[in-house]
Amino acid sequence: MNVAIACGGTGGHIYPGLATGRELVSRGHEVTLWLSGKAIESEVIVQWSGPVVQIEAAGFTVAPSWSWLRALLKQCNALRESRKKFNQDHPDILLAMGSYASVAPALIARMHGIPVVLHEANAIPGRAISMLARGANRIGVTFQRAARHLPQDKVTWTGLPISHDLSLQLEDNALSADHFTLLVMGGSQGAARLNEIVPEAVIRLHRQKRAVQAIHITGKRDEFDVRNLYTEAGVPHSVHAFYAEMGRLYNASDLAICRSGAATCMELALSELPAVLVPLPASSRDHQYLNALEIELHGGAIVMPQDQLTPDGLFDTIVGYMERPAELRLMRDAMKRAGLPNGAAKLADLMEECYADI
């Protein structure tokens, strides 16, 4: 197959698209990534040896504003450019990972009679997937809950394609093997609140002679300050602005305290790492809360809304898990049921089945 994968916009769409593209190439298919020219995409291009198409697009704000006009003009241009590329390259099938960047390619593919497979990462579909679902041939989902909002005869539970190697192990001399290890990460949009609250709770635990240590992904802005807090308090720690090989951190940790984007939830599930999930309140369609709720319903995590996140409450929660290791073991077992492994392979299977049916 000659495959086009529209996965531009954000890391939550790009990296699953990249993982699926690699799987399809390994099966002998030709794959072109369709991106939107955003800065984050430069990190992907260096990891991809195949062809890339860049067509600028923009998303629409929820409330009408003057930016709608700019977005509309960009989407009209994206439709024109997508039509040109389809006329030149004639892909056999399109995989659209969601976001505004996939709308124009998917619409033009349908106009050309090219089969379209969609993938929805979150527990509730985003606006792009919701709009495109009726005209799609097949739809893969990460969370089974998402099927309630989509044409169910088209939906297959594929899980999420993961680009990280989750089997890697961490070697860090700053950490102790006999300490309870917390993994703290807020993601690109949500680090500030966690960076403020979690160190206070961890330092209090340390001062009460609890054997606790922190692996903390802060984002660029807070890295220096958070590292200083742990250092001055004497808490064993490993602080990073960003960390690429997340599997090493998952496998070194006892409990995660983090946001609940789709990739984070599925990587935690596949790594069998229990979590305190703090959904980003501003997430579109409240998808982070619904992602977190899905993991909590399986028993692998608890949901702690941001307005309830306090140093005292978090302190009590961590102490509870430190004193009840059997409960953490049950949560690890529950995580096995929350995630579906081999998401890239399952989505590639779905694409091959879709093409064979045409």
**Structure-token match 């073991």, residue found:** 329
Would you state the structure tokens that stand for residue 210, as one six-digit string? Answer: 């609890």
- Predicted local confidence at residue 186, as pLDDT: 85
Q: How far apart are CA 291 and CA 124, in angstroms?
A: 8
| Average pLDDT of the residues in 60-73 | 68
pTM given for the model = 0.92
Q: How far apart are CA 218 and CA 30, in angstroms?
A: 38
Nearest to 213 by CA among 248, 186, 173: 173
- Quick check: 260 pLDDT over 90? yes
Which of 49-63, 248-262, 315-329, 334-348 has the weakest average pLDDT? Answer: 49-63
Q: How far apart are CA 188 and CA 15, in angstroms?
A: 14
- Predicted local confidence at residue 189, as pLDDT: 58
Mean pLDDT taken over the chain: 93
% of the chain residues with pLDDT over 70: 97
Q: What is the DSSP track for 21-81?
A: HHHHHHTT-EEEEEE---TTHHHHHTT--S-EEE----PPPSS--THHHHHHHHHHHHHHH
Domains of the chain are 2-160+341-357 (3.40.50.2000), 180-338 (3.40.50.2000)
200-248 pLDDT, tens digit per residue, is 999 999 999 999 999 999 998 999 999 999 999 999 999 999 998 999 9
